[in-house]
Amino acid sequence: MRSPLHNEKYAFLLEELQELRKRKGWNQRALAAELGIGQDLVSRAESGKRRLDVFELALWCQACGTTLERFVKRLDKRIRSNQLPGLLRPDDVEDNH
């Protein structure tokens, strides 16, 4: 059995984290400065070597100008578009953003 750290859904999460930062126009160092952490922690999170807890993820989203809810909906949409079971119930997926 593959480690959950390396499954397909988690790979999509990592890609979304990177894209969120890049849409803001920041490199890892700029995001780290905004979050008050070292650049190495951003790098490790984006590469999957370090997992974020839900509170860290919410702060990451906030720093990049979005909400945790929008981030999760976008991630769910990406997962579903790759024909994997989504994270949310179909009635929770309404995308107003």
pLDDT tens digits along 26-76 = 999 999 999 999 999 999 999 999 999 999 999 999 999 999 999 999 999
Q: Give the structural domain span for 61.
A: 14-82
What letter represents residue 13's amino acid? L
Any domain includes 68: yes
What pLDDT does residue 6 have?
A: 52
Report residue 96 as tokens: 């107003």
Q: Answer yes or no: is 2 within a domain.
A: no
Mean of pLDDT values over 78-89: 84
- The number of distinct structural domains making up the chain is 1
Q: Specify whether the CB–CB gap between 75 and 50 falls below 8 A.
A: no
What is the structure's pLDDT at 94? 60
CATH number of the domain encompassing residue 66: 1.10.260.40
Is residue 21 a part of any domain in this protein?
yes
Full-model pTM: 0.80
Most confident of 7-11, 63-67, 92-96: 63-67
In this predicted structure, what is the pLDDT of residue 1? 46
